[in-house]
Structure 1
Amino acid sequence: MPAPVPPSVWDFGAPARFDARDDLVAVGADLAPGTLIAAYRQGLFPMPSGAPGDPPYWFCPVRRGILPLDGLRVSRSLGRSVRRFEIRVNTAFAEVVAGCADPSRDGAWIDADIQAAYLRLHELGWAHSVEAWRDGRLAGGLYGVAIGGLFAGESMFHVETDASKVALVGLVDLLRDEYADTRLLDVQWQTAHLATLGVATIPRRSYLARLGTAVELPLPAAFA
């Protein structure tokens, strides 16, 4: 089970006060474990501002990307790839985060502060990696934060074709238990790539309503 975290000294305000037209809802605070967990419980997640030393930005998308656990699309070619990899959980968290943060990647956004913050969350039992391995080598994976029935995906990477997709298939399998109907797999925003895998969008209000139920569920066995 995750370790308790100190209460955050920051208050993000009631979601009802968030700008209904803007994904960015707050600027400031810190990346302490208590702040991060409080933010996720309210539907927020952080991203760097892009300027060294500036405080983080906090987002709660107007249209939230989620992957329904019964909506994952596994193509025939992806199904073949699934059989080539071994899924592991939390055996290479730091390496997964480093792979996601690789500055040579197109659209890389994870800075040193974000890496340190999520490594700390992992040490406390709140952040987890799902990894695709082949022939004893890490081929790809994803990481995110688990709070009850919420898994908030942060990023994914691969060094072999389809490895990150295989990790996502593995994650969905881990979440498919007796609480699957009310678990919530959050991917922040829908992209064209994620849409091909079944990611849909729901309004912020709907996401927050589902979130309130999800965080009260037991953790999936793989993350407990």
Structure 2
Amino acid sequence: MKTLKLQRGLADREGPGFLADSIVSVTRALARESGFAKVTMRQIALKLNVTATALYYHFSDKDALFERVAESIFEDLKVENPDQPWAEQLRAYVLAYQARLLEYPGLARILLANRESPAALIWTETMLGILRRAGFKDQKIWDALAMLVFFVNPMTLMEEKPMTARKLLHDPKTVRRAVLQSPGRYPTFATLLKGGEGVTLTYGGLLPAALDRIIASLAADLQADQTET
């Protein structure tokens, strides 16, 4: 059985639950300061005045810790004005999301490497919620999401290995299980999956859909300009 080893001081003052929260908080601060790639478990332990063993008591490895930190970063990122028109909600949320990615270097890579993680699902749930309220449904809601995914997360630049057209961008079974286990946290996502509106996302399937919508948007703008003149 693994034993929690704390240096004197923190062990006397605080319990294990506090330490877990403190690990996340300190890691988040370090990531914001220098980027996730430069954060080490030793660094975190020194900041908290504990041994490295104490960190592994709460998190199996650094990836698990980073995944929880990413979740904490997006837990408080909400749609600020739900009464606004959906386009304004969407614009504000995407800009706020992008700001978080810039604020925490390396965060985008963590999200793309863990597409079934709570952090990634929180983002997807929020985007689906906005699109659903706007009136998108059936395949059109996934097409709209595809356009936004490729606009916000340039996957071809984030992958370390070549991406084939048929590569799954998520594990459908894992996503379904995670969402349906917490329907209260991902209500829109859960409703879509229960209603049979789930979709298997591949690079080759999403990219053309996103490109078509972007081109259609540009064509609409061009037509509007020509009509005005």
Higher strand share: 1
Using the size of structure 2 for normalisation, the TM-score is: 0.29
Rg comparison, structure with higher value: 2
Using the size of structure 1 for normalisation, the TM-score is: 0.29
Higher helix share: 2
